[in-house]
Amino acid sequence: MASLQFPDSGSRQVLYANGDQAVNVVGTLYSDVGLTTLAEVYTDNAGAKGALILTAQITMDAYGRQPDYWGPADGTDHLWIVVNGGPPSRVDAAYGPRINAAETPSGAQTKATAAQTAATGAAAALAIVFGG
């Protein structure tokens, strides 16, 4: 399985235990909640997997958000981040790219077909409701 893009928008924000944003600080990524193994993470180069980050450390931005990066080559879909020795927080892989990767032209339903199916179903439902 290939590396997944991180983080998902729902886990991009990093907060301290008191609820304050972790602004402009370094966070360390781990592959386990016990924080025993540094995560295998890679830089993001305009949406492409870049170089290995040997320290597994990333810097939050001015709003306490994580930058984009890539996860382990084994396709792990969640990691753990720690800032300033605080408690670990789960970070999930981005969902959009995972959904897009699961769609293939041969066999799986494509976005266009899914949209057409949804529109046909909605039209049929309206016809039932309005007696069409």
For the stretch 15-72, pLDDT in tens is 888 889 999 999 999 999 999 999 999 999 999 999 999 999 999 999 999 999 999 9
* Residue 92 to residues 11, 16, 79, 98, 121, Cα–Cα distance (Å): 6, 18, 7, 11, 32
Q: Which amino acid is at 3?
A: S
Number of domains in the chain: 1
What 8-state DSSP symbol labels residue 107? S
- Greatest alpha-carbon span in the chain: 64
- The secondary structure of 11-59, three-state, reads HCECECCCCCECCCCEEEEECCCCCCCECCCEEEECCEEEEECCCCEEE
Q: Is residue 98 part of a domain?
A: no
The C-alpha R_g of the chain, in whole angstroms, comes to 20
Q: What is the per-residue pLDDT for 86?
A: 86
Nearest to 42 by CA among 71, 68, 66: 71
Q: With respect to residue 42, please indicate whether it lies within any of the assigned structural domains.
A: yes
- On whether residue 48 sits in a domain, the answer given is yes
Is residue 89 domain-resident?
Answer: yes
Structural domain includes residue 30:
yes
pLDDT at 115 over 60: no
107 occurs within a structural domain: no
75 in a structural domain? yes
Mean pLDDT of 106-123: 49
Give a yes or no: residue 122 inside a domain. Answer: no
pLDDT of residue 17: 83
Q: Which domain holds residue 84?
A: 5-93
